[in-house]
């Protein structure tokens, strides 16, 4: 990673974290008990990959990144809520996240569920209210972004991916008899794995870049290429996550390595082997570079972020 890019990431991260802190609801409008719980998780750090990608996309298409900052923050709020709910005892039952106790360990399950619900809802409140303008062109962009983000975060996207993951790896016996758990993933093959991850992880990463491009005023053809390229970013992100789970150190990851394998979850290294998984991540990057190149964005920070996704160590 070149030093100017590291500086770029640091500057954007600081911008995002300041905006996140300012965006969270506070007492008296919001009860302190839930405001504090939301803030605990939002300020826990993290790479801030999605919001930085959103800002980078807005800049890459020649837009004013301040217009994209609320969307960047909204997407990070959604990412944070998804971690809180994923960590719950009924879900992944994780007690540590980013080196700190998970929210439900600190405030109890009920308040953690509510804090997650609050963050998800606040994301849309933020998309609706900011940037604060009556300019019909910006109003239309904001509404379009709200639709893109909701589709990516909901049951057709992230929530659906999480449901597939749950259904595939931890099916409680007997539920299938109700007819409600009707899908069959007894053999989680490569295609099912790709679909699951494209929803669970990929959809929100794509939405971040697409939201940035839309708020930046990109024409539809450019938005589509950004969408395609960052779909490959999302896939690469997950492949690298799986590789790091096999190779990683607990300190760097901030979570327990080997957990996926221990839980019997399907992973890219498990299905294809480590070397093939590494090759697949590199191929994602090549496809993304071609898609961005077709929009004249191959030399943008968006592409640098793709390289960062693949070369990261945590």
Tell which one of 48, 50, 79, 85 touches its own copies (CB under 8 A): 85
Per-residue contact flags (x/-) with its own copies for residues 231 to 270, judged by CB under 8 A: ----------------------------------------
Cβ nearer to its own copies, comparing 107 with 218: 107
Cβ nearer to its own copies, comparing 9 with 130: 130
Tell which one of 111, 193, 292, 303 touches its own copies (CB under 8 A): 111
Q: Return d(Cα 125, Cα 169) in angstroms, integer.
A: 34
Tell which one of 43, 121, 311, 314 touches its own copies (CB under 8 A): 121
Cβ nearer to its own copies, comparing 171 with 287: 171
Residue pair 66/131 in contact (Cβ under 8 Å)? The answer is yes
Q: Is 75 an interacting residue with respect to its own copies (CB under 8 A)?
A: no
The verdict on whether omega for the bond into residue 131 sits within 30 degrees of 0, i.e. cis, is yes
Q: Return d(Cα 265, Cα 96) in angstroms, integer.
A: 19
**Residue written as token pair 């190149």:** 293
At closest approach, how far in Å is the CB of 313 from its own copies? 31
> Minimal CA–CA distance to 158: which of 199, 212, 98, 202?
199
**In the numeric block, which tokens belong to residue 64?**
């004013």
Tell which one of 16, 49, 127, 214 touches its own copies (CB under 8 A): 127
DSSP secondary-structure letter at 156? T
Q: Return d(Cα 206, Cα 229) in angstroms, integer.
A: 8
The DSSP string of 79-126 is HHHHHHHHHSTTTT---EETTEE-HHHHH-HHHHHHHHHHHHHHHHHH
Q: Return d(Cα 202, Cα 204) in angstroms, integer.
A: 6
**Is the Cα dihedral 169, 170, 174, 180 positive or negative?**
negative
Q: Is 151 an interacting residue with respect to its own copies (CB under 8 A)?
A: yes
Write out the binding residues for its own copies, residues 13-42 only, by CB under 8 A.
Answer: 25, 29-38, 40
Span from 154-162, 243-251, 254-262, 271-279 in contact with its own copies (CB under 8 A): 154-162
Residue pair 164/144 in contact (Cβ under 8 Å)? The answer is no
Q: Is 298 an interacting residue with respect to its own copies (CB under 8 A)?
A: no
Write out the binding residues for its own copies, residues 160-219 only, by CB under 8 A.
Answer: 160, 162-164, 166-167, 170, 172, 175, 178-183, 199
Tell which one of 44, 91, 261, 271 touches its own copies (CB under 8 A): 91
> Minimal CA–CA distance to 45: which of 83, 7, 88, 74?
83
Cβ nearer to its own copies, comparing 111 with 213: 111
Q: Return d(Cα 230, Cα 18) in angstroms, integer.
A: 25
Q: Is 291 an interacting residue with respect to its own copies (CB under 8 A)?
A: no
> Minimal CA–CA distance to 227: which of 29, 61, 19, 8?
61
Q: Is 124 an interacting residue with respect to its own copies (CB under 8 A)?
A: yes
Cβ nearer to its own copies, comparing 149 with 281: 149
Count residues contacting its own copies (CB under 8 A)?
Answer: 70
At closest approach, how far in Å is the CB of 12 from its own copies? 26
The residues that touch its own copies, with contacts defined as CB under 8 A, are 25, 29-38, 40, 81, 85, 88, 90-91, 106-111, 113-118, 120-122, 124-125, 127-129, 134, 136, 139-140, 142-144, 146-147, 149-151, 153-156, 159-160, 162-164, 166-167, 170, 172, 175, 178-183, 199
């Amino acid at each position: 990673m070149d030093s100017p890019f590291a500086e770029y990431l640091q500057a954007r991260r600081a911008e995002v974290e300041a905006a996140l802190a300012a965006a969270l609801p506070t007492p008296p409008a919001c009860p302190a008990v839930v405001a504090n719980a939301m803030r605990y998780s939002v300020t826990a750090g993290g790479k801030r990959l999605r919001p930085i990608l959103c800002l980078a996309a807005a800049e890459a298409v020649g837009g004013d990144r301040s217009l994209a900052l609320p969307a960047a923050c909204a997407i990070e709020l959604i990412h944070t809520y998804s971690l809180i709910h994923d960590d719950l005892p009924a879900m992944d039952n994780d007690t540590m996240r980013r080196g700190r106790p998970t929210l439900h360990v600190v405030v109890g399950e009920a308040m953690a569920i509510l804090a997650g619900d609050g963050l998800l809802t606040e994301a849309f409140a933020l998309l609706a209210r900011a940037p604060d303008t009556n300019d019909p062109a910006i109003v239309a962009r904001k509404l379009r972004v709200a639709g893109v983000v909701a589709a990516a975060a909901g049951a057709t996207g992230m929530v659906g991916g999480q449901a597939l993951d749950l259904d595939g790896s931890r099916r409680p016996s007997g539920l299938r008899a109700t007819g409600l758990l009707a899908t069959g993933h007894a053999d989680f093959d490569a295609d099912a794995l790709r679909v699951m991850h494209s929803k669970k992880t990929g959809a929100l990463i794509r939405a971040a870049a697409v939201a940035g491009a839309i708020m930046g005023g990109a024409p539809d053809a450019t938005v589509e290429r950004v969408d395609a390229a960052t779909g490959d970013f999302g896939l690469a992100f997950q492949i690298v996550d799986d590789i790091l789970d096999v190779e990683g150190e607990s300190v760097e990851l901030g979570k327990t390595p080997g957990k996926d394998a221990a839980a019997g979850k399907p992973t890219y290294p498990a299905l294809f082997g480590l070397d093939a998984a590494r090759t697949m991540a590199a191929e994602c990057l090549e496809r993304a570079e071609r898609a961005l190149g077709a929009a004249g964005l191959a030399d943008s920070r968006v592409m640098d972020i793709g390289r960062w996704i693949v070369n990261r160590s945590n």
